[in-house]
Amino acid sequence: MRPRFPAAPQRRLRLAATTVALLAVGLTAGCGDASPSVAAYVDGTTITSKQLDAAVAGVGSTVQEGQQVSPQAVLDAMVHGVIADHIAAKNNIVVTDAERGAALQGSNLEPLVSVPGAAEVAYDVADQQIVAQKIGPQPYLDQVAQQKVTLNPRYGVLDEQQKLIITDQSGSLAQPASPSPTPTP
């Protein structure tokens, strides 16, 4: 029989507390830079959840009754707008409002320009097209792949090469039930 030391319960308690602390650090290590108020980080630029919510509300005010706006689609446009801005700056390209207007003219995004909150989303899409045209599609895609983007997991998973949000996957540790349960009458 092993002798029992009076300090053993304290050591076990300290060991348990240390184990819990290390486990907590290990589980959150991948989220070190993430903040719940941030939707995405794009090479040093922050897109906040508040900015995303305002953009979704702006775009949402333009859709027909019964239609919904995907926050992921809006965030995707915003992320690519920031990427286009970074690539434009790196290549000494200035995108003018006249160029944006011409790029959006006749498109389904043109009506967004006159809506507060939605105009920036339309400009983000236009900026991508304009910058890609100015430097060429392949150089643009190559530079997109070099951008560092961190996506808040609540919005999905990011395709690291193209920087597109994959909406049928989740960054969450929990997976939805499959198939979804159907309510009984």
From CA 22, how far away is CA 109, in angstroms rounded? 49
Q: pLDDT digit string (tens) for 88-100?
A: 999 999 999 999 9
**Helix (H) or strand (E) run with residue 129 in it:** helix 119-135
**pTM of full prediction above 0.85:** no
Prior bond of 6 cis (ω within 30°): no
Q: pLDDT digit string (tens) for 119-149?
A: 999 999 999 999 999 999 999 999 999 999 9
The percent of residues above 90 in pLDDT, for the chain, comes to: 58
Q: Mean pLDDT, to the nearest integer, of 45-70?
A: 93
What b-and-e string marks burial along 43-78, b requiring 16 or more CB atoms within 10 Å of the CB? eeeebebebbebbbebbbebeeeeeebebbebbbbb
Q: Which of 31, 57, 55 is nearest to 151 (CA)?
A: 31
Q: Mean pLDDT, to the nearest integer, of 24-43?
A: 63
CB neighbour list of residue 166: distance below 8 Å, 6 or more residues apart: 156, 157, 158, 159
Q: Mean pLDDT, to the nearest integer, of 10-33?
A: 39
Q: Which of 52, 50, 56 is nearest to 68 (CA)?
A: 56
Is 170's pLDDT higher than 60?
Answer: no
- DSSP three-state, residue 150: strand
Q: Mean pLDDT, to the nearest integer, of 51-64?
A: 93
Is 85's pLDDT higher than 50?
Answer: yes
